[in-house]
Structure 1
Amino acid sequence: MDWNLYDPGAFHDELISTPGNARAAARGVVSYLRKFTGRHLAMRQRAAETAIQEMGVSFTIYSEGENIDRSWPMDIIPRVIALKEWQRLEEGLIQRLTALNLFIDDLYNDRKIIKDGIFPEEIVLGSKDFLEACIGAKPKYGVWANICGSDLVRDRDGTVYVLEDNLRVPSGVSYMLENRAVTKRVLPQLFRKHSILPVDDYTSQLYDMLSSLSPRAVENPEVVVMTPGIFNSAYFEHAYLAQKMGAELVEGADLVVGDDDCVYMKTINGLERVDVIYRRINDDFLDPETFRADSRLGTPGLFRAWRKGNVALANAPGAGVADDKVVYTYVPRIIKYYLDQDPIIPNVPSFLCVDPQQREHVLANLETMVVKPANESGGYGMLVGPASTKAERAAFAELIQKSPRNYMAQPALSLSTAPTLCEHHIEPRHLDLRPFILQGEGHYVTAGGLTRVALRKGSLVVNSSQGGGSKDTWVVDTEAK
């Protein structure tokens, strides 16, 4: 396999700077991989796929009314980031989540940002994720989104942007951890020769952060992971994180709220008090007493117990108000307002369809735009203009004109690429990165994150539910001895 023939074209490649030349942080990796034939690398790839099957690493997609369980797709050629660049990105991620939590807390309490004319009240009132029931609530440390997954992309000029923030129930961290475990199995020599920052401490950091939210001052708070059940697409992750943290994995029916407005878990020895719930259930289904009355996934009275300070919920109900893709366009102003700082990581230039002038610009340029609904996730419900048909653009134009508040648009970026194994040779594939940020009393950021890859040639859609895959992400200290 001739790496000198690999050419990403006009795109910024994460490993290769120009044909035949690796970027500084990736030189050791590329030098090592050059020694293998395409057939040998393909054998390592098959070994990785076998390991993934043996480890039971899977995800669920929903197709034509069926739940299809699939092995996690992973490419063995890692994505490499230099430590110096990563340290700056880490600062930017902490800055962003700090400001967003101040923003959420303000919206549900004093609303200073609205009173000062920085943020429009109608955007809040038009958000389906703004929960009036949360007004006046005060989670511990003033933090509503304790776990965040912000998606980063790099454009052709090398600039890294935040594409979106995931503040409700962000998923994917278990796949980041398993990608590392699989890569260590199939490319062990690389780990002995390179100073790669570890990611293994994530679950202990998560447990410590969750424990710190306990309303009771006890040495070992009872922390549980609350799942909608085995048919959820991220159930593997729910079970994985519970097992790694030594926490109980529960469903809504396993919990009960007592007359004292405390939450208890049903066990064979009777009821046990629960202090912290890492919930992987959307707000709507969390508590049929407060939200959807037909929900069979939640626990009646759970929201009441949280409001009274008898249990911690991570992430807090209502945090999704800052997960709105229309709110995203205001984040630079939010950072400036609360922290008096400029954003370290910029937003992708964005257009609000609720604004008449910006809407006209979007409608006139749909073929070059990516149009996103405010509250969808997983790559659903959006228009990728350069890959769309005339009929699809016409249909989207109608949707925008019918409900402009629900849409925002961004110019289609030339997402960076990385070498990806395709049978016995390598080809460039587009990718993004989802680091995971924790906030409680302090902050923690994963060293790298989940790199998602658009496995289809030319595709910009990296979501696993839409045919994407993943890579192990290495933050490499090139100056380590």
Structure 2
Amino acid sequence: MAIDWRKYQSDTYDELFEAPGVPRPAAKQLCDYLDDLSTQDLAERRLAAELAIKVMGISFTVYTEGRNVDRAWPFDLIPRVIAKPEWDRTEAGLKQRVTALNHFIADIYSEQKIIKDRVFPKWVLADSQNFRKQCVGHKTGNGVWAHICGSDLVRNIDGTMYVLEDNLRVPSGVSYMMENRAVTKRVFPEMFETTTILPVDDYPAQLYDMLAGLSPRSGDVPNIVLLTPGIYNSAYFEHCYLAQQMGIELVEGPDLFVDDDDCVYIRTIFGPERVDVIYRRIDDLFLDPEVFRPDSILGVPGLIRAWRAGKVGLANAPGAGVADDKVVYAYVPAMIKYYLGEEPILPNVPSFLCARDKDREHVLANLDKLVVKPANESGGYGMLIGPKSTRKEREKFRELIQSNPRNYMAQPTLSLSTAPTLVDGGAAEPRHLDLRPFILSRDQPYVTMGGLTRVAMVKGSLVVNSSQGGGAKDTWVVDLDDHESMTQTQSGAGSSQKQSQRGGRR
């Protein structure tokens, strides 16, 4: 036995174990399987995973010291396991949440009823970095602005799953979710024969169908492209992967142009071809130099004009990032009640908004206990993790908060859940993790079966972002009922076969 689970202990909620040596029901088959592996078996599978990642070219880009460095995807062999009944509730909560967020974005760019009814403060919108006045008055075809959303989930010590934040501008990571599964199938093929692990490989088809539904030309096969900033973008691997999986063109800004008819065209060797839908992986401000930054060479002049004229579909819609603000996040439970008349299924992490005098006083008095976040940063940058900070860092944040309180919010330091993670020497130790499922919005929202589990590879660390040393795990949603049914069927078939054999011998 390579891993002695009786010695494995976590001081918080563990995703695989209820107690030392006692796996959770959904994880029992995995733990039993790992029990049967020798140290050499485990080392061989770990090496096989590393080689698969290199052969498959799974990489990500890190910006460091003014350089772009491509690195192999950091992957941990032991999957995270979630029971299907729990996932069903999580899925329902995510659908509820993204529906309310889309109502909010549509409202903010039209009548702003939520502000008039004093449910959402006007000052939050007034200082929003991602509110685009150029989008005011525009109405999307089906009321959806954030077609693709990645919401980050964390579990606290008591087992409660919280939404940590929502990513609605250009959420990334779904390709790594799928590649994690591909690698795991290579190294643990037996588990997929004996365990009902629900699939994730339908995402490209679901994404294509959602994008196709945005085409302004009904009845025709739409021409869909993925607009990338180029090879130096940190998510370029994902851009290539998704374009290839969907069978669509991967393009950069200069490949497209808008003609006098307000339609978007792609330059080809056979001449211009009209583009119906653009899955854009470029931030708003770089999309169209006619409307946003005039110095942008990444976007397409006239693109917003074409979009407003209804001649091209854009996902996500420009301006959707207004709901990506971490201060706006604090009001999502109120949005759910306001727009849907429902109680939130998934709770927010309790939050303190530094723009409020009372909240700011509390934050400044407890910087050593809280996690402080800027409103519009991503990737784990610009944060203060109070319990692990120095006095100098806390004083710096004190000045930042006092100089621009609207830009900061704080949350208590959660004891994030852990999962067994292989370390040097082949042992398994608990490491903190989060989860990013992906939600596609259309007539009926679609949620990936699980998501991208990001794990802090450093002992005790709460930073899971790959750009800052984090790694990833495959995420298994396990259907125990279906497995038991399958097992009983196989058992019954086996009994019938034995009876038949006995009858034949008679």
Class of the TM-score when normalised by the shorter of the 2 chains: over 0.9
Alignment of 1:34-45 (within 5 A): 34-45=35-46
Alignment of 1:317-336 (within 5 A): 317-336=318-337
Indicate yes or no: 2:460 matched with 1:477. Answer: no
Alignment of 1:286-325 (within 5 A): 286-325=287-326
The corresponding residue for 1:464 is 466
The corresponding residue for 2:32 is 31
The corresponding residue for 2:365 is 364
CA contact under 8 A between 1:213 and 1:440: conserved in structure 2?
A: no
Q: TM-score, normalised by structure 2?
A: 0.94
CA contact under 8 A between 2:372 and 2:386: conserved in structure 1?
A: yes
Residue of structure 1 aligned with 2:440, choices 406, 421, 438: 438
| 1:140 positional shift | 1.8
Choose 189-198 or 8-17, whichever is displaced more.
8-17
Corresponding residue SS for 2:77: strand
Distance 1:341 1:387 in 2: 38
CA contact under 8 A between 1:38 and 1:425: conserved in structure 2?
A: no
Alignment of 1:332-343 (within 5 A): 332-343=333-344
Distance 1:92 1:207 in 2: 24
Unaligned 5+ segments in structure 1 are none
Number of matched pairs: 481
The corresponding residue for 1:228 is 229
CA contact under 8 A between 1:351 and 1:409: conserved in structure 2?
A: yes
Alignment of 1:176-187 (within 5 A): 176-187=177-188
The structure-2 alpha-carbon separation of the partners of 1:268 and 1:72, relative to structure 1 and needing over 3 Å to count, comes to: same
> CA offsets per residue over residues 68-104 of structure 1, 9 Å max, x none?
0001111111000000000000000000000000000
The corresponding residue for 2:63 is 62
> CA offsets per residue over residues 174-209 of structure 1, 9 Å max, x none?
000000000000110000000011001000000000
| 1:121 positional shift | 1.0
> CA offsets per residue over residues 431-461 of structure 1, 9 Å max, x none?
0000000002221100000000000111000
Corresponding residue SS for 1:379: coil
> CA offsets per residue over residues 247-269 of structure 1, 9 Å max, x none?
00000100000000000000010
The corresponding residue for 2:81 is 80
Indicate yes or no: 2:411 matched with 1:414. Answer: no
The corresponding residue for 2:18 is 17
Amino acid at match of 1:66: R
CA contact under 8 A between 2:434 and 2:455: conserved in structure 1?
A: yes
Indicate yes or no: 2:246 matched with 1:245. Answer: yes
The corresponding residue for 2:431 is 429
CA contact under 8 A between 1:150 and 1:162: conserved in structure 2?
A: yes
Corresponding residue SS for 2:18: strand
Distance 1:371 1:2 in 2: 38
Distance 1:64 1:160 in 2: 37
Q: Please tell me the root mean square deviation across aligned C-alpha atoms, in Å.
A: 0.8
Distance 1:44 1:36 in 2: 10
Distance 1:140 1:38 in 2: 57
Distance 2:141 2:280 in 1: 16
> CA offsets per residue over residues 383-439 of structure 1, 9 Å max, x none?
111111111011001000000000000001000000001121100000000000000
CA contact under 8 A between 2:76 and 2:472: conserved in structure 1?
A: yes
Distance 1:124 1:76 in 2: 44
Choose 190-199 or 215-224, whichever is displaced more.
215-224
| 1:308 positional shift | 0.8
| 1:3 positional shift | 2.8
Amino acid at match of 2:100: A
The corresponding residue for 2:501 is none
CA contact under 8 A between 2:8 and 2:428: conserved in structure 1?
A: no
Distance 1:394 1:5 in 2: 43
* Bigger Rg, structure 1 or 2: 2
> CA offsets per residue over residues 286-326 of structure 1, 9 Å max, x none?
00000000001000000110011110100000000000000
Distance 1:8 1:118 in 2: 45
> CA offsets per residue over residues 346-399 of structure 1, 9 Å max, x none?
000000000011001011111111100000000000111111111101100100
Amino acid at match of 2:68: N
Distance 1:320 1:8 in 2: 40
The corresponding residue for 2:158 is 157
